[in-house]
Structure 1
Amino acid sequence: MAANGHDREGFTPLLVTLRTLGELRSPTEEQCARMHVLLRFLLEELGADAAAAVRGGRGPSALHLAARCPGAAAVDLLLQHKPLLETPDQDGLTPLARALASGNSAAVHSLVA
């Protein structure tokens, strides 16, 4: 699948990576660091679209998923690649609202800075 291609569920490789990171229960620093390397590779080497969303508009954008990931590393990396900041997800939440709902104060700080 190309960097911006969608799988059967409508997810790009970037979205799958972010979804996986967000679903890890109590991820270790090493797991987060490895995922960060993969995110950087997808964005900077393969040209993945930082504004990507689940195909069909029935899901979150990359920034929504990053806002659920532990800490702010994923959000900070995406912000360097000009994602859409105000687009609502399937629940009507912006990435900032998703970070607040997830209790991710580091991501909230990055999104308002």
Structure 2
Amino acid sequence: MSVRPAGGGDKTPSSIHELGELRQRPGTGSSRTGVVAMADSTWFTDGLGDLYGERPEGHLPLADAGSIDEVRDAMVRGGLVDVTVTPLHDVLELDRAHGVAPGHEVRLQHLLVGRRG
């Protein structure tokens, strides 16, 4: 996701925390609204292993989340409100019927939606 903060330039948030900082930038008056919507799952509950090599502290903090609630909680900490989590059972059934990319496991995905507070 690329956004153009006040003052120009491009910035790509690397975390929910940075996303929260962007929502507080100058020029984002209270009349503006925003929605974050994403599909996610608990992809690496057994850890990332060597998939991404050595991981600096704080990078990919949710990659090995044990519960989708951890992702929801991060969205709330980032300043989003009314965060909802909807299981995508139809996607799960499609993945079971048609398969997933090589090396991947079938996982229940979720639609997470929150709005700027």
TM-score, L = length of structure 2? 0.28
Bigger Cα Rg: 2
Q: Which has the higher strand share?
A: 2
- Bigger fraction of residues in helix: 1
Give TM-score scaled by structure 1 length.
Answer: 0.28
User: Relative contact order (C-alpha < 8 Å, sep 6+): which is higher?
Assistant: 2
